[in-house]
Structures are given as C-alpha cells and as structure tokens.
Structure 1
Amino acid sequence: MSFFSTGPIENNPVGGVRTTQQLTVKIENRDLVNSGTVQVHGYVLDTTVTLYVVDPISVSPSEVVTRNYYANLDAIKFDFTTGGPAEDQIVISVWGKDDTGQLQAAHRVVREEL
C-alpha cells in the first residue's frame, strides 16, 4: 500500500468568493494487465478535522477515473491510499476548479507533489 496526501489546501474567500468550488481528482492506472484500488478520504480543516469524503475506487488496467468533489470550503485535505497488484502504476492528480469549471492553478497538485 502507498499513501499520498495533498496536505492542507487553503481556500479562503477573495472578494466573497472562494477560488475553488470543486476539486477534480484524476486517477490513472498505467499497468496494462493488473487492476488497482484507491481509497480517497477528504477532510474539512476547520477548528477540527472532519471527514467528508470516503470514496473507494477500483481502477482497471489502462483506465483513467475522474471524480469531482465539493470544495467550497475554507480549507481541505485529501488523502489517497493505493492498493492491489497495480498500486505502483497508479498516478493521481488533483485540480481545483472555480464555479464555471475553469482550472485554478493555485490548487493543482500533481504526482510529484503528492
């Protein structure tokens, strides 16, 4: 099993609107033969840490899975645990999007940063 985390992502309002409204997670299985799994946990970081996303995902060989999660919050963190025969071939990226679906570079986390 491998563990990856975005770490805390600050998303305070600017002019009354948060930069990121939605978080898109892309999961790619680069293994041509084996499947893998990813357990996604999303947390609201306030005065306490509150779990708000639990999403177990199976990823077939050569498959790309996209999930969208609510992110109109002041601070969040996402953790990913990979497993299965293809766990070393699973690549994860996280993308913040505004209310029109435009990518927000400030809230982009790619494989090398997880």
Structure 2
Amino acid sequence: MALLSTGPLTNEPVDGMRPTQQVTIKLDNRDPVNYSVVLLEGYVLNGTRSLYVQELFSIQPDAVVTKKYPANYDAFQFVFTTSGPAAGSTEISFWGKGLSGQLLAAYRLVSNELQV
C-alpha cells in the first residue's frame, strides 16, 4: 500500500479569479495482469481540513481512469492511497486547469512528484 499526496496547494485569487478552477486526475494501472485499488480524497483547506471528494476505484489491468473535480478554492489537497496486487504499477498524474480549460504548469504533478 502506498500513500501519495499533492501536498497543500494554494489557489488564491489573482485579479479576482482563482487560477485553477478544475483538476483532472489520471490513474494508470500499467500491470498487464493484476488490478489495483485507489482511494482518492480531496480536501478544502480553509482553516480546517474539509473532505469534499472521496472515491474508491478498482482499476483493471492496463486501464486508465480519468476523473475531474472542481477546485475553485483558496487552498486544497488531494491524497491517494493505492493498494491491490498492482499497487506498485499504478501511476497518478494531477493537472490543474483554468477557467477556459488551459493546463496550468504550476498545478501539474506526476507520480514521482507526489509526496509520500
């Protein structure tokens, strides 16, 4: 089992608008035979840590799951708990997007950049 996190991400308004409005998360099981399980949790960080997303996925062999969530908050964090036979073969990427859907480099994280 592995525990990964984006760490706290600030998203305070610039000229009245938060840079990131939505996040896209890709869960990629690269094992050709075994499944993996990912518990995905998203938190709003507003003086307290409030859970706003919680989903559990079983990812089949050689499968990719893509999820999108709102992120129009001053600060937020996502935590990923992987388990199952292919936990070590499951990679996660995290992408922040602006109002018009453009990718924001400051909010792009891939598996080796996520905190343990």
TM-score band w.r.t. shorter chain: over 0.9
**Runs of 4+ deviating beyond 4 Å:** none
CA-CA distance at 1:58 after TM superposition: 1.2
3-state SS of the aligned residue for 1:14?
Answer: coil
CA distance in 2, matches of 1:76, 1:47: 11
Secondary structure of 2:112's aligned partner: helix
Deviations 1:16-48 (A, max 9, x none): 111100011001000000010100010000111
1:44 counterpart letter in structure 2: V
Letter in 2 for 1:28: D
| Alpha-carbon distance, 1:77 to partner | 0.4
- Which residue of 1 is the match for residue 107 of structure 2? 107
| CA deviation after TM superposition for structure 1 residue 101, in Å | 1.1
Cα distance in 2 for partners of 1:100, 1:55 equals: 26
Aligned to 1:72: 72
SS of equivalent to 1:80:
strand
Deviation digits for residues 43-95 of structure 1 (CA, Å, limit 9, x no counterpart): 00011110110011111100011000110000000000001100000000100
Distance across 2 between alignment mates of 1:107 and 1:62: 26
Cα distance, 1:100 vs. partner?
Answer: 1.3
Mapping of residues 14-93 of structure 1, within 5 Å: 14-93=14-93
CA RMSD, Structure 1 to Structure 2 (Å): 0.6
Question: Structure 2 stretches of 5 or more lacking a match?
Answer: none
The residue type paired with residue 20 of structure 2 is: T
The alpha-carbon deviation at position 112 of structure 1 amounts to 1.1
The alignment covers a number of residue pairs equal to: 114
